[in-house]
Amino acid sequence: MNGEADRRANALALRLWLNCLATQEILCCYLGIQLGYYEALARGPANAAELAERTQTAARYTREWLEQQAVAGLIAVEDTSQPAHTRRFFLPEPHRHVLLASDGPLSRVAGILPVGAVAHVLPRLIQAYRTGAGLVDADYGPDWTQGHAGSNAAFYSHALPTIVRSALSRDHLLLAGKPTQLAEIGCGAGWATTSLARTFPNLSCIGFDIDPDMIHMAERHSADLGLTGRARFEVRDCYGGLPSQFDIVCIFDVLHELPKPVEMLGVARLACRSGGTVLLIDARTQERFQAPADEIERFQYTTSVLHCLPVGHAGENAQPTGTIMREKTVREMATTAGFGSFERIAIADRLHSCYRLGP
């Protein structure tokens, strides 16, 4: 290799080594979440034996995990000069916002769970890439679905009401304070539906999802918020249609992983009353393919390769888009599904785009 080729090969080798380190550290965080180490440390400083006692885990393993987390700067040590068995570790206050589960914007717990889910499914994924077969969410297990739902929780709880306000015209029923009915297709754990019901007292919502576990989570969530009368949930395969018509039909972060996205858009169109609106939120992507690309595009592509495209390939005659569903593709799908109007709504979010579709 000449000088320039040598420099580039070395830079790439270093970058991938650092990526291996980052992946291994994230998998250690996954262990910490699953074993309840972070939650237990949040109750106060502990040495390895004390944390093992709090979490019902093996002390020698716990010590290794604590030391790994400390050298990675994820947790802190009271006094590094203490012998290993008495050395005490703690979760610094700012790290609690990141390493403990919550719907706060900095919590990364929900985002780490799907990485563990992918680790479980890698052998099947390799097989799927060879045969072209699809996978289903159940193959990834609850870490994927719960992690995904949690990852969007902060966005739906805090940003969604503003997005919906800017997507609808001022004289829309909802903003005019008139009784409004909303349906959400693929509502997951119900974070979006409940956020909207909480914000708009004139709104009556129903969320549909094919996954009964998701519907149970959504029902619990709605009951916790005292919204049971106005935010209901139902298990339903929405390809079969919705049970009635609505003023607003939402499809939030679902379309790109469906085997038949155009068919689902058609379901949404038919479920709209005259004058009704379909609101779509999906993965933010660049307008066209560019390489190399920024971190957001790289994140969306890894999600597509590891989960969304394989899940979209499930079943007969699948025509998935994968996570990279650019505006031009969404517009074409909306036209094919029979919508007459299509508008992109400008929103200030790094990971999502929003569209309003009408008759």
Ligand X SMILES: C[S@@+](CC[C@H](N)C(=O)[O-])C[C@H]1O[C@@H](n2cnc3c(N)ncnc32)[C@H](O)[C@@H]1O
What residues line the site for ligand X (CB under 6 A)? 137, 145, 148-149, 152, 185-188, 191, 208-211, 214, 237-239, 252-254, 257-258
Least distance CB 235 / ligand X (angstroms): 8
Pick 55 or 157: Cβ nearer ligand X:
157
Least distance CB 242 / ligand X (angstroms): 10
Pick 188 or 276: Cβ nearer ligand X:
188
- Check: CB of residue 120 under 8 Å from CB of residue 141: yes
Amino acid letter, residue 34 = Q
Pick 62 or 222: Cβ nearer ligand X:
222
Report the distance separating Cα 256 and Cα 259, nearest Å: 8
Pick 74 or 153: Cβ nearer ligand X:
153
Q: Which residues contact 47 (CB under 8 A, 6 or more apart)?
A: 85, 86, 87, 88, 89
Residue facing ligand X at closest CB distance: 188
Give me the helix-helix angle, 3-34 and 59-71, nearest 10°.
140
Least distance CB 22 / ligand X (angstroms): 24
Pick 91 or 238: Cβ nearer ligand X:
238
Least distance CB 55 / ligand X (angstroms): 29
Pick 148 or 232: Cβ nearer ligand X:
148
| 114: DSSP letter | H
Peptide bond between residue 261 and the one before it cis (omega within 30 degrees of 0): no
Report the distance separating Cα 359 and Cα 123, nearest Å: 44
Which of 285, 272, 312, 114 is CA-nearest to residue 185?
272
Least distance CB 128 / ligand X (angstroms): 18
What is the sign of the dihedral through the CA atoms of 311, 313, 317 and 321?
positive
Pick 51 or 258: Cβ nearer ligand X:
258
Least distance CB 184 / ligand X (angstroms): 7
Which of 349, 145, 134 is CA-nearest to residue 254?
145
Burial 170-191 (b: 16+ CB within 10 A, else e): eebbbeeeeebbbbbbbbbbbb
Least distance CB 328 / ligand X (angstroms): 22
